[in-house]
Structure 1
Amino acid sequence: MERPVVVGVDGSESGLEAVDWAADEAVLRGVPLRVLHASLWQRFEHCESPSPQADSGQSPERILAERILAAAQQRAARRQPDAHVTAEIQGSDPVEMLLRAGESAAMVVTGARGREPVREMLLGSVALGTAGRATCPTVVVRGGVRTFGGSGTVVLGVSARSQGTAAVSFAVEEAEARGWDLECVHALGRREGSDPEGVTARARAGESLDALALPVPARVNVRTAVLEGTPWHVLLDVARDAGLLVVGARRRQGIFGLELGLANHAALMRAPCPVAVVPEPMTA
């Protein structure tokens, strides 16, 4: 059974940009696009209710939800006429809805912000909650969406433990499907890079990056770099002109709450491009 690309919508412009990204991704993968709206989204992102003009017998919340879904479907159809799109309203909170949908999805896509103006520069609670807990890759669309089929770069943040991880595989797949370059970046702490032992650390980081390139298809142009600085500073700097930033997140069994780490959290809050958080299952 094909795993769909799932996108959560709330009626915001950020949510509609997420629809653009998700529609492109669904066509690239040849899978359906599933558009979801949670009936309780308004309580999370402070959406306004429509003016009660239509005498349809439906609640204002239901009218708003149907308008949001209709706008998202029209947006997806304009963006990708060949996409197979389904849409659904679910009676639950948005994070739980997306987490459930993600259990049988190729990925979950959300916008970075809600509808409230004060959130213009903040990460929405739905995006953060989903990225921090989902069992499938979560893409939070920031900084707009590149034209479908255009050139670009996938930036992959790696560490000494990255070889063979789900994040590496995801980044390679995205670069290959889009025809983009893949840039693998390892951030070396300033102390590691300046003391005698830092030479060894840099050499090991370079070896790890070289090893990552081995399973990459020949048609994917790979660049690697070991850069000095804190991970989140390095990733944000390299991703300035990227089309997608990919980071891994370790999920530990039996652990509740967000599992992101400082670098991932900073990427979600401040990256100039869409961010994919790819979970890596671990035991407790």
Structure 2
Amino acid sequence: MTRPVAVGLDGSPAALVAADWGAREALCRELPLRLVYAWEWQPYTYAPLAGTDAPRPWSERVPREAAAELRNRYPGLEITADHLTGPPPEVLCEVATEAELLALGTAGFGALAGFFLGSVAMSAVAHTEQPVVLVRAETTAADEYLPATDGRPPTAMAYRPVVLGLDLSRPCDEVIRFAFETTALRAAPLRVIRGWKPPAYFLYGVTGEPSLRDDLAEQETEGLRTVLLPWREKYPGIDVTEHCVMGEPAHFLADAGADAGLVIIGRRSRRSWAGPPRTGHIAHAVLHHCPAPVAVIPHD
């Protein structure tokens, strides 16, 4: 069974932008697109003007109308539109289990304030066992490509780099595989960013020797190269650059997103941990401040 690219709709402009992104991603991966609206009945505190059933017909139109628009825009794409009943977080998590990835839209507040991620999006990111991509409301198709300066036609435009944030303490194959496969589909360059923090004794003044800091940086860089070596050999056509930077990883990943077509990060699924699933502080910061679409990949 072919697994589609799924998109969660809620009738907002941000969700429609995510649907357009999902359509392009489905074409890139040669997969069908599935649009889903999760409707949950809510009790009224007052009588609506159009009757108690008015919200449901509206919600049923949302996926149909989005599908019709995308079929006109992408005539070769197979699209299905579903209207499902149930709590949106639960419905979307169930939809994601049958999909290659799930795309959701997020609203923007601006460069300084960051982006608004609603409870449904955050719940899907935290609980879904498939990749979830958060797409900004301001994202356009042109944002995926490098600016053309030589008169190239749109079909010859080059994709912006894909950025992978990698934690060397848990360099999980699921995250790296998704990054290399996605980059290969786009024929784009891949930038791998490893943010590292110095040992605790750096905080207590033992930093007088510049060679010590250089040695630590070289160790981190060599560790990153070692982890990526088998993937470079498996995907020899990808232009990969490594960046080992000392500091908070989320800061560098958010900055890198300004010139990226997609930023990829991992999230521990915590299957064996007690307590509710969490996104982690790095993923949380990147999701709220990175201007590019962000793919969150769950891993053990």
Task: Sort the Cα spacing of 1:109 and 1:230 in 2 relative to 1 into closer, same or farther, 3 A.
Answer: same
SS at match of 2:231: coil
Deviates more, 1:74-83 or 1:242-251: 74-83
SS at match of 2:191: strand
Instruction: Find the counterpart in structure 1 of residue 223 from structure 2.
Output: 208
Runs of 4+, deviation exceeding 3 Å: 145-150, 161-164, 190-201
* Code of the aligned partner of 2:252: V
Is the Cα contact below 8 Å between 2:17 and 2:139 reproduced in 1? Answer: yes
Instruction: Find the counterpart in structure 1 of residue 184 from structure 2.
Output: 176
When the two structures are superposed, what TM-score results if normalisation uses the length of structure 2?
A: 0.80
- 1:192 is displaced (CA, Å) by 7.3
Instruction: Find the counterpart in structure 1 of residue 118 from structure 2.
Output: 124
Is the Cα contact below 8 Å between 2:172 and 2:299 reproduced in 1? Answer: no
Between structure 1 and structure 2, the one with the greater Rg is 2
- 1:79 is displaced (CA, Å) by 3.6
How well do the aligned residues superpose, as a CA RMSD in angstroms? 2.8
Report the count of equivalent residues. 268
Instruction: Find the counterpart in structure 2 of residue 9 from structure 1.
Output: 9
Are positions 1:271 and 2:266 aligned together? Answer: no
- 1:17 is displaced (CA, Å) by 0.8
Q: Which sections of structure 1, spanning at least 5 residues, go unmatched?
A: 44-49
Is the Cα contact below 8 Å between 1:192 and 1:201 reproduced in 2? Answer: no
Q: Could you list the per-position Cα deviations for residues 26-49 of structure 1 after superposition, in whole angstroms to 9, with x for gaps in the alignment?
A: 112222111100112989xxxxxx
Task: Sort the Cα spacing of 1:41 and 1:201 in 2 relative to 1 into closer, same or farther, 3 A.
Answer: farther
The correspondence of residues 56-135 of structure 1 with structure 2, limited to 5 A, is 59-113=53-107, 121-135=115-129
SS at match of 2:37: strand
Q: Which sections of structure 2, spanning at least 5 residues, go unmatched?
A: 145-154
* Code of the aligned partner of 2:251: H
- 1:58 is displaced (CA, Å) by 8.7
For residues 41 and 11 of structure 1, the distance between their equivalents in structure 2, rounded to whole angstroms, comes to: 16
* Code of the aligned partner of 1:34: R
When the two structures are superposed, what TM-score results if normalisation uses the length of structure 1?
A: 0.85
Deviates more, 1:268-277 or 1:33-42: 33-42
Task: Sort the Cα spacing of 1:213 and 1:124 in 2 relative to 1 into closer, same or farther, 3 A.
Answer: farther
Is the Cα contact below 8 Å between 2:114 and 2:288 reproduced in 1? Answer: no
SS at match of 2:2: coil
- 1:67 is displaced (CA, Å) by 2.1
Are positions 1:244 and 2:259 aligned together? Answer: no
Task: Sort the Cα spacing of 1:106 and 1:235 in 2 relative to 1 into closer, same or farther, 3 A.
Answer: same
SS at match of 2:116: coil
